[in-house]
């Protein structure tokens, strides 16, 4: 297979560095790679495939000759540079929220809607991390027994906010254990030994933006605007991996055993479910893994045709870097690099 000319925008951030790791681990066909970041990070050296690569400042000229650009630099950067990269001939796979709900931009989870990649006009959006793991677990069930309603409560790690949040959790934990006063900087309140039901900004409807992303993105990915969805997103003092308690109402009755049988064969899903020996998905064991873990599948005794389940995944890996690279791999495999598969 021929190699491709890649660029990573936001290469020095958590997701950017995970891009590099996943590209190496999956032997992605790379002819050349440009590592791009802000002017503050320009000049740093990173390694790719055992070779030192200098990080360059992202400019409008950065994308000349680039075929695939992986973005992980935030919505504002993506809104400005993604169209420039696309106009230069690159296909952008963007991790930010900038393009997800644009009707002209595919929002893709390769295990679910890979065919949407073909509709791209130079930009493809990677969904929110909490959305990705939920739909990977639910879509195999939805295909067999259409989902009517989803109630999700998330337990999201601080890595979703970035390195500064990881440092804050570490420092606050030490300060509290040493009897010192904590002054929060990254979050509005102390995160160590605490939980915060506030992720992203609050909207006029009293939901947070993170909660509303789960509603809108799930419908777009699953091509079903009729699914009723409500989410409560909570930040917890965990470093890596998001966990979710999800209640799902189906059109027809479904047993836990039926759901387990379906999910045990679903792509990207790993069933971990044996309560007799306290076996269920956990955040720490999901960290570093490609899979979405599902367990504690049980009947919802409060509502007919409903199941309850526990879903855990590494938000930096599957929720960001891996899913992005899987999109690029699918695009190459199906020869959809050029818009509309041309």
Q: What DSSP string runs through 138-176? A: HHHHHHHS-EEEEEEEEEE-GGGT-HHHHHHHHHHHHHH
CB neighbour list of residue 231: distance below 8 Å, 6 or more residues apart: 130, 151, 152, 153, 154, 207, 210, 211, 212, 214, 215
3-state secondary structure of 254: coil
**Are the CB atoms for 321 and 103 separated by under 8 Å?**
no
CB neighbour list of residue 184: distance below 8 Å, 6 or more residues apart: 168, 172, 190, 191
Residue 14 has a pLDDT of 96
Q: pLDDT tens, 115-141?
A: 999 999 999 999 999 999 999 999 999
For residue 317, the 8-state DSSP code is I
Q: Is the pLDDT of residue 213 over 50?
A: yes
pTM of the predicted protein model: 0.96
Domains of the chain in start order, with CATH, are: 4-127+320-341 (3.40.50.720), 131-315 (3.30.360.10)
Tokens of 279: 């076996």
Residue 2 has a pLDDT of 85
**Best CA proximity match to 63, nearest among 80, 46, 75:** 80
DSSP symbols for 275-298: GGGTB---HHHHTT-SSEEEEEEE
> Measured between alpha carbons, how far is residue 19 from residues 48, 57, 70, 112, 322 in Å?
10, 18, 8, 21, 7
3-state secondary structure of 235: strand
How far apart are alpha carbons 89 and 38 in whole angstroms?
A: 22
For residue 51, what are the β-bridge partners? 48
The share of the chain scoring above pLDDT 90, in percent, equals 98
Mean model confidence pLDDT for the chain: 97
Q: Is the pLDDT of residue 145 over 80?
A: yes
> Measured between alpha carbons, how far is residue 167 from residues 77, 220, 328 in Å?
24, 35, 32
Catalytic residues: 129, 242
Q: Is the pLDDT of residue 338 over 90?
A: no
Average pLDDT over residues 60-88: 97
**Are the CB atoms for 166 and 191 separated by under 8 Å?**
no
Residue 342 has a pLDDT of 43
3-state secondary structure of 300: coil
How far apart are alpha carbons 284 and 314 in whole angstroms?
A: 9
The share of the chain scoring above pLDDT 70, in percent, equals 99
For residue 119, the 8-state DSSP code is G
Q: Is the pLDDT of residue 340 over 70?
A: no
Q: Is the pLDDT of residue 341 over 50?
A: no
Q: Is the pLDDT of residue 284 over 90?
A: yes
């Amino acid at each position: 297979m021929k190699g491709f000319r890649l660029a990573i925008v936001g290469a020095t951030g958590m997701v950017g560095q995970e891009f590099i790791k996943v590209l190496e681990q999956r032997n992605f066909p790379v002819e050349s790679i440009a590592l791009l970041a802000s002017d503050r990070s320009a000049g740093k050296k990173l390694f790719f495939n055992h070779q030192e690569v200098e990080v360059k400042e992202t400019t409008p000229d950065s994308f000349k000759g680039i075929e695939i650009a992986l973005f992980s630099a935030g919505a504002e950067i993506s809104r400005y540079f993604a169209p420039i990269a696309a106009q230069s001939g690159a296909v952008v796979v963007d991790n930010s929220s900038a393009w997800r709900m644009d009707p002209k931009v595919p929002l893709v989870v390769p295990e679910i809607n890979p065919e949407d990649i073909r509709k791209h006009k130079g930009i493809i959006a990677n969904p929110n991390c909490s959305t990705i793991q939920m739909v990977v677990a639910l879509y195999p069930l939805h295909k067999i027994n259409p989902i009517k309603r989803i109630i999700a409560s998330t337990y999201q790690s601080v890595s979703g906010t970035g390195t500064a949040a990881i440092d804050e959790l570490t420092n606050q934990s030490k300060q509290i254990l040493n009897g010192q006063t904590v002054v929060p900087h990254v979050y509005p309140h102390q995160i160590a030994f605490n939980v915060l039901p506030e992720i992203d900004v609050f909207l006029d409807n009293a939901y947070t933006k993170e909660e509303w992303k789960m509603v809108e993105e799930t419908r777009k990915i699953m091509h079903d605007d009729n699914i009723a969805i409500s989410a409560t997103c909570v930040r917890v003092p965990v470093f890596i991996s998001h966990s979710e308690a999800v209640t799902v109402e189906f059109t027809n009755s479904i047993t836990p055993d039926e759901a387990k049988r379906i999910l045990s064969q679903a792509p990207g899903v790993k069933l971990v479910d044996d309560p007799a020996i306290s076996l269920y998905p956990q955040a720490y064991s999901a960290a570093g893994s490609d899979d979405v873990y599902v367990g504690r599948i049980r009947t919802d005794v409060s509502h007919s045709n409903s199941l309850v389940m526990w879903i855990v995944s590494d938000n930096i890996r599957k929720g960001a870097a891996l899913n992005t690279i899987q999109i690029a791999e699918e695009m190459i495999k199906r020869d959809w690099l050029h818009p509309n598969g041309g």
